[in-house]
């Protein structure tokens, strides 16, 4: 006997098919709010990873410095930005002719007034320094060219006004001297560079307070390798001055290590 109050099986199936159901797209797609949260999360992660990578690069590989003085003209102009390879001298040895950045080895910067900068420039420089794109401590460092390495005998000058390294005169195409100058230094000297140290000079020889002018200090004008931050490899700013920095290997090619 059939219960007439219950719908027939076929009718029940038809009614079930007729009931509305949520589309798969609507059920599975996240809300606009969840999409925004996910997007912001991804942005934060990307920025955090970029900052970490930049920090590691700054700490171990490269740094940027700006040039505050005229002592390295014509190679480096005031306010140039340079990229420095920090693997020198820890993993890569310093060579004659390299342009190096180093910490003040002992009162070389005494009395040097800081360059004036607006608060916005100072703040921007500090922020960029966090990721190695600038150096807010540039004025606490010096940049010069390496002329003598440990063991070298450096003498100024021969009758042609040239420096001699281990008795070999060198022709320095990077040097700027004033008109009428009789030699590339303006100061006579004879030094033997101790092991673990450097003898450095600016390219703008008559306007550079370098090893020649600091011989009365504790380091006697020599720069300890421990104070070297790295070797300048490229001018990165301004863009119209972008260039790899030459260490002029041919200039020092004939110089042998002193016995």
Confidence of residue 207 (pLDDT cuts 50, 70, 90): very high
CA distance 217 to 248: 30
Percent of the chain whose pLDDT exceeds 90: 54
- The residue-averaged pLDDT of 184-194 equals 95
- What residues pair up with 228 in beta bridges, in sequence order? 102
Whether this model's pTM surpasses 0.75: no
User: In this structure, are residues 101 and 234 in contact, taking their beta carbons and an 8 Å threshold?
Assistant: no
Catalytic residues: 71, 144
Q: What is the model's pLDDT at position 181?
A: 94
Domain 62-244 fold is: Umud Fragment, subunit A (2.10.109)
CA distance 146 to 9: 97
Residue 68 pLDDT > 50: yes
Between residues 116 and 100, which one has the greater pLDDT? Answer: 100
- The residue-averaged pLDDT of 90-106 equals 93
> For 11-27, how does the pLDDT look when each residue is reduced to its tens digit (9 = 90+)?
445 454 545 555 554 44
> For 107-143, how does the pLDDT look when each residue is reduced to its tens digit (9 = 90+)?
898 755 555 556 665 666 655 555 455 555 557 899 9
Residue 201 pLDDT > 90: yes
Structure tokens at 44: 């934060």
Buried b (16+ CB within 10 A) or exposed e, 40-64: eeeeeeeeeeeeeeeeeebeeebbb
Q: Detail the DSSP E strand segments found in 126-255.
A: 141-148, 153-156, 163-165, 168-169, 189-192, 197-201, 223-224, 228-237, 243-244
């Amino acid at each position: 006997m059939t219960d007439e109050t219950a719908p027939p099986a076929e009718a029940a199936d038809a009614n079930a098919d007729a009931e509305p159901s949520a589309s798969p797209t609507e059920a599975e797609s996240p809300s606009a709010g969840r999409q925004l949260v996910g997007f912001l999360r991804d942005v934060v992660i990307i920025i955090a990873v970029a900052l970490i990578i930049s920090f590691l690069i700054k700490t171990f590989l490269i740094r940027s410095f700006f040039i505050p003085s005229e002592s390295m003209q014509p190679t480096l102009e005031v306010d140039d930005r340079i990229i420095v390879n920090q693997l020198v001298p820890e993993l890569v040895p310093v060579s004659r002719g390299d342009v190096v950045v180093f910490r003040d080895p002992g009162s070389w910067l005494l009395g040097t007034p800081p360059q004036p900068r607006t608060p916005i420039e100072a703040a921007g420089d500090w922020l960029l320094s966090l990721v190695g794109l600038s150096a807010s401590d540039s004025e606490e460092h010096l940049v010069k060219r390496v002329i003598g390495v440990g063991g070298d005998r450096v003498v100024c000058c021969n009758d042609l006004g040239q420096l001699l390294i281990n008795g070999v005169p060198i022709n320095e195409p990077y040097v700027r001297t004033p008109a009428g100058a009789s030699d590339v230094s303006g100061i006579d000297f004879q030094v033997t560079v101790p092991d673990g140290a450097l003898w450095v000079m600016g390219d703008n020889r008559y306007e550079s307070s370098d090893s020649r002018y600091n011989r009365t200090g504790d380091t006697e004008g020599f720069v300890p390798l421990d104070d070297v931050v790295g070797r300048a490899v490229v001018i990165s700013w301004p863009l119209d001055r972008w260039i790899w920095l030459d260490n002029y290997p041919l200039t020092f090619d004939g110089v042998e290590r002193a016995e």
